[in-house]
């Protein structure tokens, strides 16, 4: 199967960002050609005239909880503890694998509308989450969510083996929910497993001040210092949120090459704080971006996140030049891929996976054109996403989904499931 995009602008993010005009060919699951028009090019199954629109590498949503669409706008505008204990936890207890499957697909659809081609997903009912992605043709990296209440070391190791098959759209990273929900025994078991597999480990880290204070009172250490002592991150990995890292924590992140995955919309909405992303960047810590789950955001939109990453740093640093658009785009496309171990999905180049999105520049929010990269980060919107391709397959085009599902049926099943849970 060969698809040719022509009259395209193509975002090259090799060193600095620049945009070249020409053709991009996809052969099966990979990019097979980028360059000027070839009169003697191969016969194509489909040729798509982009009329000057822009091909970008797909965004990577480096932290999310996809099945939580059922809690979107369910209990907003309430204090955090009331929201968690009275609304989120009782509803989550009613989830089943079949519900998880349907609620996940709604999230995958929303990723596609936002040009997101891969998600790093932490939730329970892992087989249902994996099946939803596999059935839709979406690329998902599952993150372990081990804690005192969910899963076990044995189950995590089984998932690690099952979901790390070659040539699969699914992969699996070791992970646990957070220090405050995971016993020291389990943490030691995770460190041991990481050592045996020489594998990176991911977890929620320092999302709130209360979380850090709790860890200090239990261990007289920050979460990051505790993980360092236990050897959790001896083979890398990273932290989700990282709003409240100490100087010593950031030194550990830097030394170990750990990724910060920032979630600005969720942190604002839950009043957790603003992660000092600009400081992390200056210290050389790699940063990726996630939407977090739809219960706390509530939308799964990389354009919103990108805008917030830069705008909040400008505010935090009192400096309108902080965290420029190019850095943010690098986080959203390349750093996310590297954090998730998707080393073939980090940029548009021959031989890389064909995970990409087409951005409509013929919209008023992109005109007139002074700087397309800055437009993308500061002015871009889901409305500009014309097409999203994962692994060489077009899953979303001109508002329609090609994910092997009846969309109306997904919506009606989701509504019925939700009704049955209330």
Stretch touching a copy of itself by CB under 8 A, among 11-19, 117-125, 166-174, 378-386:
378-386
* Minimum distance of a copy of itself from residue 384's CB (angstroms): 9
Site for a copy of itself in 16-45 (CB under 8 A): none
User: Of 349 and 414, which has the nearer Cβ to a copy of itself?
Assistant: 414
- Strand partners of residue 94: none
Which one among 98, 362, 406, 420 touches a copy of itself, defined by CB under 8 A? 362
If one asks whether residue 269 binds a copy of itself (CB under 8 A), the answer comes out as yes
Q: Which residues, 292 to 321, sit near a copy of itself by CB under 8 A?
A: 294, 297-301, 304, 307, 310-312, 314-315, 317-321
317-346 residues in contact with a copy of itself (CB under 8 A) are 317-325
Minimum distance, C-beta of residue 60 to a copy of itself, in the bound complex (Å) = 19
Main-chain dihedrals φ then ψ at residue 34, nearest 5 degrees: -135, 125
Q: Taking the complex as a whole, how short is the minimal distance between the CB of residue 198 and a copy of itself, in angstroms? A: 38
**Is the CB of 85 or the CB of 365 nearer to a copy of itself?**
365
d(CA 263, CA 243) in angstroms, rounded, equals 9
In 3D, which of 249, 210, 239 has the Cα closest to residue 218?
Answer: 210
CB of 31 or CB of 281, closer to a copy of itself: 281
Q: Write out the binding residues for a copy of itself, residues 175-214 only, by CB under 8 A.
A: none
DSSP per-residue codes, 92-156: HTT--HHHHHHHHHHHHHHHHHTTEEEEEE--S-HHHHHHHHHHHT-EEEEE--B-SSS--HHHH
315 CB neighbour count, 10 Å cutoff? 12
Our finding on whether 374 is near a copy of itself (CB under 8 A) is yes
Cα–Cα nearest to 204, from 228, 185, 223 = 223
Q: What share of the chain is helix, strand, coil (3-state, %, to 5)?
A: 40, 25, 35
What is the torsion angle, in degrees rounded to the nearest 10, for the CA atoms of residue 135, residue 409, residue 72 and residue 382? 70
Stretch that binds a copy of itself, among 118-126, 182-190, 284-292, 373-381 (CB under 8 A): 373-381
Q: Which residue has the tokens 């960002």?
A: 17
Strand 116-121, strand 356-359: pairing: unpaired
Nearer to a copy of itself, 153 or 274 (CB): 274
Query: Candidates 227-235, 346-354, 356-364, 387-395 — which segment interacts with a copy of itself by CB under 8 A?
Result: 356-364
Asked whether position 138 contacts a copy of itself by CB under 8 A, the answer is: no
Edge-first strand listing for the sheet containing 59-64: 59-64, 116-121, 139-143, 170-178, 201-205, 237-241, 259-262, 287-289
Residue 346 near residue 338, CB atoms below 8 Å: yes
Footprint of a copy of itself on 63-92 (CB under 8 A) = 69-74, 76-80, 83
Residue with Cβ nearer a copy of itself (93 or 271): 271
For a copy of itself, the closer of residues 114 and 182 by Cβ is: 114
The nearest distance, CB 74 to a copy of itself, in angstroms, is 4
Contact flag: residue 402 with a copy of itself (CB under 8 A): no
375 interacts with a copy of itself by CB under 8 A:
yes
CB nearer a copy of itself, residue 134 or residue 316? 316
Interface segment toward a copy of itself; rule CB under 8 A; list 15-23, 57-65, 104-112, 198-206: 104-112
Exposed/middle/buried for residue 15 (C-beta within 10 Å: 0-12, 13-18, 19+): exposed
Q: By CB under 8 A, which span of 216-224, 230-238, 278-286, 407-415 interacts with a copy of itself?
A: 407-415
Residue holding tokens 């891929």?
Answer: 337
Find out whether 288 and 331 touch, Cβ atoms under 8 Å: yes
CB within 8 Å of 361: residues ≥ 6 apart: 9, 52, 53, 54, 367, 369, 372, 375, 384
DSSP 341: T
* H or E element at residue 312: helix 302-317
Shorter beta-carbon distance to a copy of itself: residue 254 or 382: 382
- What is d(CA 223, CA 253) in angstroms, rounded to the nearest whole number? 12
Choose which of 46, 86, 282, 367 interacts with a copy of itself (CB under 8 A): 367
CB of 56 or CB of 201, closer to a copy of itself: 56
Based on the shown chain and the rule CB under 8 A, indicate whether residue 274 belongs to the binding site for a copy of itself. Answer: yes
> Binding of a copy of itself at residue 151 (CB under 8 A)?
no
Query: Please, which residue, 191 or 265, has the CB nearer to a copy of itself?
Result: 265
């Amino acid at each position: 199967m060969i698809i040719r995009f022509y009259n395209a602008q193509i975002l090259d993010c090799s060193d600095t960002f620049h945009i070249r005009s020409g053709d991009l060919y996809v052969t099966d699951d990979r990019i097979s050609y980028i360059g000027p028009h070839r009169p003697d090019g191969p016969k194509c199954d489909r040729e798509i005239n982009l009329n000057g629109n822009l091909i970008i590498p797909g965004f990577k949503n480096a932290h999310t909880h996809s099945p939580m669409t059922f809690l979107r706008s369910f209990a907003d505008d309430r204090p955090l503890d009331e929201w968690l204990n009275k609304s989120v936890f009782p509803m989550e207890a009613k989830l089943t694998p079949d519900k998880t499957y349907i609620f996940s697909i709604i999230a995958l659809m929303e990723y596609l509308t936002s040009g997101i081609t891969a998600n790093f997903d932490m939730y329970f009912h892992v087989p249902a989450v994996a099946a939803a992605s596999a059935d839709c043709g979406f690329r998902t990296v599952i993150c372990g969510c081990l804690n005192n209440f969910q899963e076990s070391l044995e189950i995590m190791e089984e998932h690690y083996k099952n979901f790390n098959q070659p040539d699969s759209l699914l992969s699996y990273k070791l992970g646990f929910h957070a220090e405050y929900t995971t016993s020291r025994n389990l943490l030691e078991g995770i460190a041991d497993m990481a050592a045996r597999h020489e594998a990176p480990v991911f977890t929620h880290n320092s999302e709130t001040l209360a979380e850090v204070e709790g860890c200090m009172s239990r261990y007289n250490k920050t979460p990051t210092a505790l993980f360092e002592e236990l050897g959790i991150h001896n083979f890398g990995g990273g932290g989700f949120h990282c709003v409240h890292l100490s100087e010593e924590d950031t030194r550990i992140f830097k030394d170990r090459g750990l990724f910060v995955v920032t979630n600005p919309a969720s942190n604002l909405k839950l009043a957790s704080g603003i992660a000092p992303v600009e400081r992390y960047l200056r210290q050389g810590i790699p940063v990726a971006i996630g939407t977090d789950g739809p219960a706390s955001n509530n939308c799964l939109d990389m354009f919103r996140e990108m805008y917030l990453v830069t705008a909040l740093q400008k505010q935090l640093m009192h400096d309108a030049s902080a965290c420029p658009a190019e850095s943010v785009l690098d986080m959203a496309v390349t750093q996310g891929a590297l954090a998730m171990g998707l080393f073939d999905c980090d940029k548009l180049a021959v031989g890389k996976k064909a995970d990409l999105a087409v951005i409509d520049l013929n919209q008023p929010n992109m005109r007139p054109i002074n700087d397309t990269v800055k437009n993308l980060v500061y002015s871009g919107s889901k409305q500009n996403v014309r097409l999203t391709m994962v692994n060489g397959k077009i899953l979303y085009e001109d508002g329609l989904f090609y994910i092997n599902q009846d969309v109306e049926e997904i919506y009606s099943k989701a509504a019925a499931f939700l009704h049955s849970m209330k």
